[in-house]
Amino acid sequence: MITLGFVYVLAGLTFAIFAALGLGDRSNPKRFGNAAFWGLLALSMLAGDRLGDFGNGLLVLALVAIAGTGQIGRAPGGEVAAAVQAERAAKYGNFLLVVALIIPAVALAGTFLFKWVPGLADPKQATLISLGIGVLIALAVGMARLRPALLLPAQQGRRLLDAVGWAAILPQMLASLGAVFALAGVGEVVGDLIGAAIPQGSLFGAVVAFGLGMALFTMVMGNAFAAFPVMIAAVGMPLLIKQYDGNPAVVAAIGMLAGFCGTLMTPMAANFNLVPAALLELKNPYGVIKVQIGTAIPLLAVNILFIWLFAF
Amino acid sequence: MLVLIGIAIIIAGFLLRFNPLLVIMASALATGLAAGLDVTAIIAAFGKAFNDTRYVSIVWIVLPVIGLLEAYGLQQHARSLIGRIKGATLARLLASYLLLRQAMSAVGLTSVAGHPQTVRPLVAPMAEAAAEAQGVALSDTQRDEIRAYAAATDNVGLFFGEDIFLAIGSILLMKGLLEGYGYVIEPLHFSVWAIPTAIAAFLIHGFRLRLLEKRMLRAPGQGTGA
């Protein structure tokens, strides 16, 4: 049976190749830092379960030390000339599109297949496993027809990842910080503070405090999942559900979505907001957040209104 | 109260634009110390969480495929395709992607699309090409804004579609949490209440895509030839 371990091996090998190619790239003055950074990430993917908690902690400290002291960077250039790309685009055309769509198509098909046919792959991780298989199939099909230099996909993939840089592990780092926050009981303290700040005797006031609290606390934590238990304990359960007799399903479901509006507005949700800015090579690292605020604020107001209308 | 120091460090660190990885590590150490943990325990807790959340970073395995296809002109092809479709405007293209992303997420297919898999190679260049086909000579700033909207559209579609799906993590979290308070609720009841917000998200973001298009058409860029 295929498990998530298969995808971790795939990711580990990918990062290991990136590290090796990075080490050999003499045009990059920071090649040693790059090689060490992606090499450590490869080690984490391949052997993380055997390093122990403290060993993994040291690995993270090393990653932070490399990135935090500015030891990773990218070499200039490396992309294929635009004229060559245009010429090849005219030649291969829709074939490129088909290969690009293999990844989502296999992810889609695999998700259903692994749920319907038990025993092939871990059904809980069906989509991520299918994503890995989709990448392998797309790569094989693309290589067979395009016949590029053997290392071209790895070289170009490395170039793209170097453009993202240390931000590539930011989401994982923030998720880990959330675990430390939980251990230290940060959520309970914030919940007490918000609970104490709510105006007494006003249903609408309590709904607004709940919705705004979800969004704001999500912005701080970068994740609505971390904010949700805290806000339910502080406001949702004692006031909205118990005191005002609100419908718990509505309070919970729309409260969570109010939190998602906060996710659109915070750099702490790095994988959604900062990583794509790097990936799309935007000049402003906060460019994605900037355009999302105009959707998030009215939608937050709508969510607060919906809780007030539908739950009571 | 003292454990809130970690949040203060995060906010200050992001505002002062220190390297976020350093800020996160400092915040974790300060928070753990304030809660009375010793340094080794904090490092071990962080390491365990890092190892448990590796799946967050596996999406980068798509990059060799994307790199290969881009070297053979995928972005150019996506652009020329849009140029040939009559009526493919910037707003319509992104609104269609928004609807598709919401619909896919609503049936649980959240990892099928995403910024590395679909936005960078396909949606962003198509959106740029659609604006150009409408006669806008894009400046670099306008190009960046369109790309940012392409990324934002993916996020909005994902966030306000996924909670309609019964077995998504957030629904299971809600169910588990409310059960702890003695309320046993079927997942379906949560997912039904995600539908009004999903519709509102489509209308609000779709309206903003129309505004974006109008703004682009009204103020044609200088066309730096980029």
Distance of CA A257 to the CA centre of its chain: 18
Which tens digit of pLDDT belongs to each residue from B128-151?
999 998 988 999 999 999 999 999
pLDDT at position B113, please? 84
Residue pair B43/A57 in contact (Cβ under 8 Å)? The answer is yes
Please, which residues bridge with residue A2 across strands?
A121
Closest residue on chain B to A78 (Cα): B71
Question: Per-residue pLDDT for B199 more than 80?
Answer: yes
- Rounded CA gap, B43 and B25, in Å? 9
Put simply, the answer to whether B48 touches A56 (Cβ < 8 Å) is yes
The number of beta carbons lying within 10 Å of the beta carbon of residue B180 is 12
* Distance of alpha carbon B225 from alpha carbon A263, whole angstroms: 35
How would residue B225 be classed by pLDDT, with cut points 50, 70 and 90?
A: very low
Q: B107-123, pLDDT tens digit by residue? A: 777 777 889 889 999 99
Who has greater pLDDT, B167 or B202?
B202
The H or E element spanning position B170 is: helix B169-180
pLDDT at position B174: 87
Nearest to B80 by CA among A77, A91, A144: A91
- Asked if residues B209 and B168 have their Cβ atoms less than 8 Å apart, the reply is no
3-state SS, residue A177: helix
> Scanning every residue of chain A, which has its alpha carbon at the shortest distance from the alpha carbon of B125?
A280
Contacts of A114-119 spanning 24+ positions with Cβ under 8 A: A119/A1
What is the per-residue pLDDT for A34? 95
Task: Kindly determine whether residue A85 and residue B75, on different chains, have CB atoms separated by under 8 Å.
Answer: yes
Cβ count near A117 (within 10 Å): 10
pLDDT tens-digit series, residues B64-99: 999 999 999 888 888 888 877 778 899 999 999 999
Residues of A in contact with B31 (CB under 8 A): 180-181, 184, 186
pLDDT confidence bin for B167, thresholds 50/70/90: low
Say what the pLDDT of residue B152 is: 98
In this predicted structure, what is the pLDDT of residue B223?
A: 47
* pLDDT confidence of residue A46: 97
What does the pLDDT read at residue B82? 80
Q: Does B49 touch chain A (CB under 8 A)?
A: yes
Q: What is the ipTM of this complex?
A: 0.85
Structure confidence at residue B148 (pLDDT): 98
Listed as ranges, residues in chain A with pLDDT below 70 are none
- The whole-angstrom distance between B157's CA and the closest CA on chain A is 11
